[in-house]
Amino acid sequence: MKKTIVLAILMAFSLPALAQQHKANFKAAEKFKSSNIRKMLKSTRVFPRWLKDSDKFWYTYTTTNGKNFYMVDPAKKSKTKLFDNLDFAAQLSELTSKPWDHRNLDLKGWKLEDDNKTFTFMVDSIDYHFDVNSKIITKGDSTEKAKKRINWAGYSPDSTYITYAKNYDLYMMRADDPDSTEILLADDGERWFSYGFDRGDTTKDKKYRAAVRWFKDESKFYVTRSDSRKVKELFVINDLSNPRPEVEIYKYAMPGEQDVPQTHLSIFEVPSKNRIDVEIDKYLDQTINTYLPGKTSDRLFATRMNRTSDTLDVVSINTTTGDVKTLFTDTNYPYFYSPNTQLSILNEGEELIWWSERNGWGQLYLYDGITGALKNKITNSGYFVTGRIQQVDTVGKKVYFAARGREPGIDPYYALMYKANLNGTGFKPISTEAANHSMNMSESSKYYVDNYSATDVAPKSLLKDSNGNVIMELESADLSLLYEAGWQMPERFTMKADDGITDLYGVMFKPFDFDSTRKYPIISYVYPGPQVESFGNDFSITSGYNTALAQLGFIVVSMGHRGGSPMRDKYYHTYGYENLRDYALADDKRSIEILADRHDFIDIDNVGIFGHSGGGFMSTAAMLMYPDFYDAAASSAGNHDNNVYNKWWGETHNGVTRVDKKKKDKDGNEYTETTWKAKVKTNPSIAKNLKGHLLITHGTRDNNVNPANSLRLANELMKAGKRFDYMPIPGARHGYGSKRDYYEQMMWYFFAEHLLGDYRNNVDISLPDGN
């Protein structure tokens, strides 16, 4: 017994020495950080530019051999170079008396004219023309720069008119006559209730873009204005402003507040200047989204959603009278996730396609656009989540769309491509390679370019017909420089959630000099969702900070968790409803434990966690809820107190309750007072639990997640007598901008110290050129 105790004491004293055995490999991390490694990768996708009234297209693609221009004829199954780069550069050198790099031709304003054979571009303010057939470049007559579109102007479809805001009011003038008189269309604009996008601007005579959307026939346009005059103000301080720091004030509605933005919709007729203010209000504090019908301007479509985000109307608006007609109402408990909702207008509004989760999975439904009657469910083949509609073939009465989770054995996060007839028949998978797909289809719907990749699948671009048959392989990404540098792909893995039932998916990043006999601390990169999870599905050579961070000598992982993503079924997506702080934590902890059980090289006694924004919030919450498991967290720009974050986030994902009370005024008249309750669990409330090492950073000009979120956390940590690191990022907005490189390396040193025991003095931060 005594021998065992002595041995335990000796082992305890030896642990710090073991932690010091491996120094952080800063040189490798520097080599593979984003600002250095991104130059090793060239093109990864084909972006087809379809010819007018044709199935042909052209594109550019760059490899380590240079940049090339191609023309593709799907009917002939041919891909040819638009020109010989050497010949093109030689012609251009003679015409411009300048040297040109034939390997990487930088042609400004390169554009195909409507004749489908003449490309135009510009050199030193002079137009040049390239004939596809003759392969000859000719110098144009123009010696002046092409007229640039004015950044404050909203152009009508044919560029006949421009609209703009000034002094919060709405103006219009002819675009083809620079001396035309400006026409005042609306003079009721105010600060915080402006016709322009810069609603808070105080410059009286400055012109800026108006919140205008034109109908395609150019006879009308409409404006949506947000009335934020009663919304309370928030502010940040620009400490770097010269000569004095400046206060930046903005309107910001928080969960449960009484005064929130109100949307107003107005339609303007051109050129009569007649104005119609649409009476679209139905729900208290409703949210409005608008949809143009097509070529005509007789009707406008919109959705309006109540404040609790569980009831939504699809309406049509008569643009001549302003009359609003409810076509149908959809309900979705606990909430509609508004970025997922889709309304497609077919044949000038004769029919509508609507995305709904009414059966627990996102599906497509066809409605009559005149009566609002449900015609049929379009996606009638199994239970899966339909993604974005890629194209609607109104002639062939087909819809092409992305979907996830239908094919057995394929990662449910991968967007695969499908088609179906509008009447609900003819469902067919057309791109099901095990990867994440995107589609770009010709106007005729006969062909599409399929770009696909995954975290462990190199990007590939294929040309396919509408049935998914491969016409030809267009390109594969050139990874030669990456492999030569020693880069390796990450590894995907799956496991069960903390409930032992739900499948979770993740990605693991190892050091490129990985040694299976060594023990590595593990770091979890997190984002709670519920709009997106932390790991991406497309190919990435850096995966944010993960690749470089792993090179220090860590196993870096990123996993999904219940409640994290709308890409899966509604139950999975809304798992965290009414528990916005804690729902993701148990699955992250359990996932790390499972990985450590699977792999002897993972050191479960040295666990780190980091994330940005919601990930900053989650990484700190993990440290405070499981203080004996997580040892170090780097939390950047975290919304640690969601009660002072934006209204939409907290009320949608955590819930809001309407409270109606009967009251009497001073004259004894009874009325109903409506208030809202929306409280979210916070990190400051459990700050006393901290045991490990915590690094908090926040941009001082963050007008998305106000710095008060981190300051409130810091205040409670101090009150609890906790040690932690706090770094304000001077002048930075929410994403840290040019300060990202500094923060990344700051995080390297933080984890090296607290997970590897590698403390270094007098080590500068190395920054890329221009910082």
Q: How do residues 206-228 score in pLDDT, each as one tens digit?
A: 899 999 999 999 999 999 999 99
Rounded-to-integer distance, Cα 580 and Cα 678, Å: 12
Rounded-to-integer distance, Cα 172 and Cα 153, Å: 9
pLDDT cut 90: percent of the chain above it: 89
Confidence (pLDDT) at 143: 54
Confidence band for 763, pLDDT divided at 50, 70 and 90: low
Confidence (pLDDT) at 176: 79
Token digits of residue 154? 């909203």
User: Is 423 in a helix, a strand, or coil?
Assistant: coil
Rounded-to-integer distance, Cα 448 and Cα 460, Å: 14
Confidence (pLDDT) at 760: 81
Q: Residue 667, Cα to own-chain centre: how many angstroms?
A: 53
Q: Which residues contact 203 (CB under 8 A, 6 or more apart)?
A: none
Confidence (pLDDT) at 19: 43
Q: Residue 648, Cα to own-chain centre: how many angstroms?
A: 16
Rounded-to-integer distance, Cα 471 and Cα 576, Å: 44
Cα radius of gyration (the chain): 29
User: Is 755 in a helix, a strand, or coil?
Assistant: helix
The reply to whether omega before 334 is within 30° of 0 (cis) is yes
Confidence (pLDDT) at 11: 46
319-322, long-range: CB < 8 A, 24+ apart: 319/215, 319/220, 319/222, 319/267, 319/276, 320/276, 321/276, 322/267, 322/276, 322/277, 322/278, 322/279
What is the third-level CATH fold of 490-641+683-756? Rossmann fold (3.40.50)
Distances (CA, A) of 308 to 44, 334, 578, 673: 42, 9, 13, 17
Rounded-to-integer distance, Cα 232 and Cα 5, Å: 63
Per residue in 703-755, pLDDT tens?
999 999 999 999 999 999 999 999 999 999 999 999 999 999 999 999 999 99
The answer on pLDDT for 769 being more than 90 is no
Contact 594, 495 (CB under 8 A): yes
Confidence (pLDDT) at 180: 80
Rounded-to-integer distance, Cα 558 and Cα 608, Å: 12
For the ranges 191-200, 213-222, 401-410, which has the lowest average pLDDT?
191-200
Residue type, 356: S
For the ranges 175-189, 235-249, 688-702, which has the lowest average pLDDT?
175-189
Q: Which residues contact 537 (CB under 8 A, 6 or more apart)?
A: 411, 413, 414, 415, 436, 454, 455
Average pLDDT over residues 17-46: 87
Confidence (pLDDT) at 271: 85
Confidence (pLDDT) at 150: 83
Confidence band for 623, pLDDT divided at 50, 70 and 90: very high
Rounded-to-integer distance, Cα 350 and Cα 276, Å: 24
Average pLDDT over residues 456-482: 98
The answer on pLDDT for 419 being more than 70 is yes
All CATH 3.40.50.1820 domain ranges in the chain, comma separated: 490-641+683-756
Confidence (pLDDT) at 377: 97
More confident site: 486 or 202: 486
Model-level pTM greater than 0.85? yes
Task: Taking the CA atoms of 391, 397, 398 and 399 in sequence, report the sign of the dihedral they define.
Answer: positive
Report the residue count for the chain: 771
Average pLDDT over residues 160-174: 94
Confidence (pLDDT) at 4: 43
Q: Which residues contact 447 (CB under 8 A, 6 or more apart)?
A: 55, 74, 441, 463, 464, 465, 466, 471
* Burial group, residue 214, by CB count within 10 angstroms (0-12, 13-18, 19+): buried
Q: DSSP label at 190?
A: B
User: Is 215 in a helix, a strand, or coil?
Assistant: coil
Confidence (pLDDT) at 762: 64
The answer on pLDDT for 375 being more than 90 is yes
Per residue in 100-151, pLDDT tens?
999 999 999 999 999 999 999 999 889 999 999 999 999 987 655 455 678 8
DSSP notation for 671-713:
EEEEEEE-----SGGGGGG--SEEEEEEETT-SSS-THHHHHH
Strand order in the sheet with 275-278: 212-214, 220-227, 262-269, 275-278
DSSP notation for 61-123:
EEETTEEEEEEEEGGGTEEEESS-HHHHHHHHHHHHSS---TTS---EEEEE-TTSSEEEEEE
Confidence (pLDDT) at 770: 53
Average pLDDT score over the chain: 93
The reply to whether omega before 684 is within 30° of 0 (cis) is no
Confidence (pLDDT) at 282: 97
Q: Which residues pair with 138 in a beta bridge?
A: 129
